[in-house]
Amino acid sequence: MKRLLVFVVLLQIILSGTVKADEGMWLPALIEKLNIKQMKQMGLSINAEDIYSINHSSLKDAVVALDHGSCTAELISAEGLLLTNHHCGFDEIQQHSTVEHDYLRDGFWAKTKEEELSNPGKTASFLIRFEDVTSKILPMLNDTMSEEGRRAKVREISSRIEKEATADTPYEGCVQSLYNDNKYYLFVYETFRDIRLVGTPPQSMGKFGGDTDNWMWPRHTCDFSMFRIYCGKDGKPAAYSKDNVPYVPKHHLPISLKGYQKNDFAMVMGYPGSTNRYKTSYGINYTETVTNPVRIKVREEKLRIMKDFMNTSEHARLMYSAKYARSSNYYKYSIGQNKGLHDLNVIEKKKQLEDQFTQWVNATPERKAKYGEALPLIASEYQNVEDEKAMEYMMEAMVRGSEIFYYAYKTSPLNDVLKSEKDKERIHSAVDRVKEGLDDFFKDFDPQTDQKTAASLFRIYQENVAPQYQPTFFKVVKNKYGNDFEKYTKRLYAKSIFGSQQKLVNFLAKPSAKVLEKDPIFQTSIEIFKMLELIRDETAKTTAALSKGNRLFVGGLMEMEADKTFYPDANSSMRLTYGTVNGYVPRDAVWYDYFTTLRGYIEKEIPGDDEFDVPAKLKTLYQAKDFGRYADQDGKLHTCFTTNNDITGGNSGSPVINAKGELIGIAFDGNWEAMSGDLAFENELQKCINVDIRFVLWTIDKMAGAQNLIDEMTIAN
């Protein structure tokens, strides 16, 4: 009997490990037509109209794009309460933190609405409706048009469609191309601009595991933060005002305390940022040999310099914590993606599809005439990539490298006004625009760290980019400073009005075009962005042909596999993915279960460590087994779980919803073994890592004592 039981358990593990991930980021408006039958077979108990409707409230009305798609959030109360990831609120948490009130270290909880903190610039956008406008655009295009002419015509028609769709409304319209310019869709949004921070656990919970655990499973991270949408008294979007009121949504998600079982249905709704699943082998090779190595090389050095500064004091750590987190996330992602592309033999798989496509195209004269140039166009544009390589280094090492040069470049409009205008009012207005972000910029800016970053990244750029794409000041560094970028940048920062906030404030009190144009940092910034434009012009020469090749290739694929249901690449528009709760086999002889518990959190503890320190109160509650109503039926507090939903960047903070339309978790990461997923979905390995909603509620209730927030929610026991 024991042998039989062991065999059954092993069989379940093996079979569970081979449950395939469900590929596809589907447009919610089309699930009635494309997906609902399969979703019902997998266990969904609500209807398509309950998920997406323009006639009554539906799940789409509870899901918002934060900051126009950088993350996703969901409404969980009738008073505009939003739930998203801790890392999606990290910038705001850091901005509100001081050494005296360190919300990153200690967490923050508003016990009343009056205590909630405003966040200028943060937005939350609702999808109002969706419309296929392909028939309004494609008939106006023809094969005799140049690619630039084609794009111009699309922009012209799209602008007209957007204006007609939003006339006399507070809404925003956006026509986006999907399937590599083979189809076009209109998305209409309503955007709210008064978004206030309500609560966040300490970083030791919200970012538990830090960079070490990032993109990894098993996870125990309580990755969430809370905001609230405010609006005018008429319920419409409004700028921040103390008179604004909490937004009353059309729908908010009920929260399930019942948890989940293996193979339970799960769906994710959100705003995934960008995938390139239709990219060819040529494009994959470029990503693997150029894009990712450049990002890794530059960011590794930038992160080293930031970390050295952050280790000097608590104040320094606070200043650069958000910047470090932003840079490190896709640094590690690039390493993992290259490993995945290699391990999963993605290029060879792409080549096999391209060979099949070529055979299909060559089978008839009509296909050859229509699609014959697709792959040759793409291949030819990847033969010489020196300009594209220069652009990769330009963006990583120059534009996203040192902060001061982009900041200085933004004063170019002031310089133009000072040179051409005598009107004091216009000069005063231009000065005010520079002053607007001055305090925020210098609050988290260390000139010495930035100077070290500039010196090191300039050197990397010089060593890796062809001479014709190097800014002219590189010659000055070579001839006058013996190619010593450290010496050169030290002089720049010492002599420049941008070297400190006080110097810049003094200049703005009495601005002068002569002073600005002679400023060494301003001069250097102008040279950097002139070179950026030159490189952009060079890459534009190949972009048009590449765009045409990709459009023809995807159009041909859709014709070649006419019986297949194609989904569009992610582009920050709302998508739905569906799948099941389950674990996986990452490599030989290893099985990963589908959930983790608070025990694993405790087991990972490294006292005093930046990444694995455990709050004392959490340990006390764990030892007392004080899990309240949030424990699973097994008596344990589940922390995170995995599903096979198809997600990517932008899905961070997305709700994980059960078959009844109830919230069971928050998506926050993908798994290391399938980091190539943005380019090629891996059915056997792709996983979506989620924080269990019960762990979230336990943290709010037991750790924070924020009963006021629990009372707002609709909880299904």
Please provide the average confidence, as pLDDT, over all residues in the chain.
Answer: 94
Q: What is the mean pLDDT of residues 255-271?
A: 98
Q: Which residue has the higher pLDDT, 10 or 42?
A: 42
Q: What's the rounded Cα separation, in Å, for the pair 94 and 447?
A: 19
Q: Which of 58, 77, 652, 676 is catalytic?
A: 652
pLDDT reading at 1 higher than 90: no
Q: Which of 223, 450, 669, 678 is catalytic?
A: 223
Q: Which of 86, 87, 251, 252 is catalytic?
A: 87
Q: What is the mean pLDDT of residues 473-480?
A: 96
What pLDDT shows up at residue 515?
94
Domain ranges of the chain: 1-123+193-270+576-717, 281-548
- pLDDT, tens digit, 9 for 90 and up, residues 425-471: 888 998 999 998 899 999 999 999 999 999 999 999 999 999 999 99
User: Which tokens is 683 given?
Assistant: 């059915």
* Burial class of residue 276 in the structure, from the number of CB atoms within 10 Å of its CB (0-12 exposed, 13-18 middle, 19+ buried): middle
User: pLDDT grade, residue 21 (50/70/90)?
Assistant: low
User: pLDDT grade, residue 8 (50/70/90)?
Assistant: very low
- pLDDT, tens digit, 9 for 90 and up, residues 369-393: 999 999 999 999 999 899 999 999 9
Of the ranges 4-13, 33-42, 496-505, 580-589, which one carries the lowest mean pLDDT score?
Answer: 4-13
* Percent of the chain's residues with pLDDT above 90: 93
What pLDDT shows up at residue 2?
33
E strands present in 452-594: 575-580, 584-587, 590-592
Residue 652 annotated to the active site: yes
Contacts of 389 (CB under 8 A, 6+ apart): 290, 294, 464, 465, 466
- pLDDT, tens digit, 9 for 90 and up, residues 342-364: 999 999 999 999 999 999 999 99
pLDDT reading at 341 higher than 50: yes
Beta bridge partners of 65: 72, 125
Q: What is the mean pLDDT of residues 402-415?
A: 94
User: pLDDT grade, residue 419 (50/70/90)?
Assistant: confident
pLDDT reading at 12 higher than 70: no
- pLDDT, tens digit, 9 for 90 and up, residues 42-83: 999 999 999 999 999 999 999 999 999 999 999 999 999 999
| Coil/strand/helix, residue 420 | helix
Q: Which residue has the tokens 């102008």?
A: 526
Task: Say if residues 162 and 174 touch (Cβ distance below 8 Å).
Answer: yes
Whole-structure pTM value: 0.93
| Coil/strand/helix, residue 16 | helix
CA atoms within 13 A on the CB side of 599: 7
What pLDDT shows up at residue 422?
73
Residue 87 annotated to the active site: yes
- pLDDT, tens digit, 9 for 90 and up, residues 597-614: 999 999 999 999 999 999
Q: What are phi and psi of 184, to 5 degrees?
A: -135, 140
Q: What is the mean pLDDT of residues 93-113?
A: 96
